[in-house]
Structure 1
Amino acid sequence: MAETAAPIAEPELEMNHNEHLVETTEVPAEAHHAEPSALGLAPAGWVGLSMLAFLLILVWKKVPAVITGGLDKKIVEIRQHLDEAKKLRAEAEALRKEYADKIAGAEKDAAAMIEYARHEADAIVAKAEADTEAVIKRRKQMAEDKIAAAQRGAVEELRARAADAAATAARGLIAKGHDAEADKKLVDTAISGL
C-alpha cells in the first residue's frame, strides 16, 4: 500500500524590508506526508506485531503462571494475616471481657470494703462514746467521792477543833469557877460513887 506523495513546491526567494533574502515554502493544503513502511507494514502494524510477539514470549516463558502464582501466594499470606487478626481480635475481646468482669468484681469488693469500714467506724465511734460516758461517770463518781471524803474530813476536823475548843473553854471555865476546895469536893464525890 504505497501512497504517492504530492509534489513539494520549490522554495521561492523573496526580499523583505531589510533587504535580506528569505526563503518561503508554499505547501499546498491537500498535501500530507507519506508514512514509512517496511516489508509492507506501516508503523502501527509493526507495533501490533511487536506486542503480539511480546505476549507470545510472556506466555512461552510462563510469566502469567508466575504472576498468578505470586498473586496466589499473596492471597494465602493475606488470608493468614486475616485469620491471625481474627484470632487476635477474639483474644482481645476475651481479655476485655475478663478485665471488665475483674473491674466489676473490684467495684463490688470496694463497695463491700467501704461498707465494712463504715460499719467498723460506727462501732468504734459507739465504743468510744460508751467508753467516754463510762470514764465521765467514773471521774464524776471519783470527784463526788473525793468531795464527800473532803467534807467528812472537814467535818471531822471541825468536830475535833470544836471538841478541842470546848475542852479548852471548859478547862478555862472550870479553872475559873473551881478552886482547890471545889476540886476536892468533886474528887470526893467521884470516889464515893465508886
Structure 2
Amino acid sequence: MQYESLMSIPWSHGTFWVFIALLIFVGLFGRKILTPVVSALDKRAVNVRQSLDEASRLKAEAEAMLRDARKKRAEAIAEAKDILERAKEEAARTARELAAEAEMRAAARERMVQERIDAAQASAIAEVRSTAIEVAIAATTEALRAGFSASEDAKLVDHAIAEVPAAFSRRAA
C-alpha cells in the first residue's frame, strides 16, 4: 500500500496543510518560545559556571586554610616542646637550688648544735671549776682552822674529792 500524498498534488491533502501550519507556527511563535527557553538555559549555564567558580574558589580557600592550620599546628607543637623543655630545665634548676638550700640549712643547724654543745661543755667545765674551787676553798678553810698535819691534810683532800659529786647534785637542785 502506497501513501497517497506522495503520488498526487501535495496541497490537495490535509497533511500538507498541517505541515505548512506547523512551519508558520514555528516561524511566528518559535522565536518567542525559543528566546525564554534559551535565556533560561543560558542563565542556568551561568549559574552552573558561577557555582563551579565559587566551588573552586572555596576549595582554594579551604586548601589555604588547611595549610595554615597545619603550619600553626606544627608551630604549636614546636612551642609546646620548647615550653616543656624550659619547664624541665626550670624544674632541674629549682631542684638544684632547693638541694643547695637544704644542705646550707643542714650545715647551719649542725653549726648551731655544735655551738650549743660547745656552750654546754664550756658551761659544764666552768661549773666543775667553780665547784672544785668552792670545795677546795672549803677544804682549805677547814684545814686552816683545824691546823691539821700532812696526813690529815691528805685525808681532808680525799674527803673533799669524794664530796665533789654531792656538791654537783646540790648545785643542780
Q: Do the structures match in fold with TM over 0.5?
A: yes
Unaligned runs of 5+ in 1: 1-39, 179-194
Taking every aligned residue pair, what percent have the same amino acid on both sides? 31
Letter in structure 2 aligned against 1:123: R
Match of 2:88 among 118, 137, 144: 118
How far apart, in 1, do the equivalents of 2:20 and 2:124 lie? Answer: 141
Match of 1:168 among 121, 132, 138: 138
- 1:31-70 equivalences in 2 (<5 Å): 49=18, 53=21, 57=25, 60-61=28-29, 62=31, 63-70=33-40
How far apart, in 1, do the equivalents of 2:141 and 2:129 lie? Answer: 18
Match of 1:3 in 2: none
Instruction: Choose between structure 1 and 2: higher strand proportion.
Output: 1
Letter in structure 2 aligned against 1:66: P
Match of 2:113 in 1: 143
1:106-143: CA deviations, max 9, x gaps?
Answer: 11001000000000000000110011011101110111
How far apart, in 1, do the equivalents of 2:59 and 2:120 lie? Answer: 88
Match of 2:100 among 123, 126, 130: 130
Q: How many angstroms does 1:65 deviate by?
A: 3.0
Q: How many angstroms does 1:84 deviate by?
A: 1.1
Q: How many angstroms does 1:85 deviate by?
A: 1.3
Q: Describe the SS at the equivalent of 1:166.
A: helix
How far apart, in 1, do the equivalents of 2:63 and 2:39 lie? Answer: 36
Letter in structure 1 aligned against 2:128: L
- 1:19-30 equivalences in 2 (<5 Å): none
Q: Describe the SS at the equivalent of 2:49.
A: helix
Match of 1:86 in 2: 56
How far apart, in 1, do the equivalents of 2:67 and 2:103 lie? Answer: 53
Q: How many angstroms does 1:100 deviate by?
A: 1.1
Letter in structure 2 aligned against 1:116: R
Q: Which has the higher contact order (CA 8 A, sep 6+)?
A: 2
Q: Describe the SS at the equivalent of 1:121.
A: helix
Q: Where in structure 1 do 4 or more consecutive aligned residues deviate above 6 Å?
A: none
1:38-76: CA deviations, max 9, x gaps?
Answer: xx87xxx7xxx4x98568535522212321221011101
Unaligned runs of 5+ in 2: 1-12, 149-173
Match of 1:191 in 2: none
1:109 corresponds to 2:79: yes
Asked which structure has the greater CA Rg, the reply is 1
How far apart, in 2, do the equivalents of 1:90 and 1:153 lie? Answer: 92
Q: How many angstroms does 1:105 deviate by?
A: 0.1
Letter in structure 1 aligned against 2:112: M
Question: Please, what is the CA RMSD of the aligned residues?
Answer: 2.4
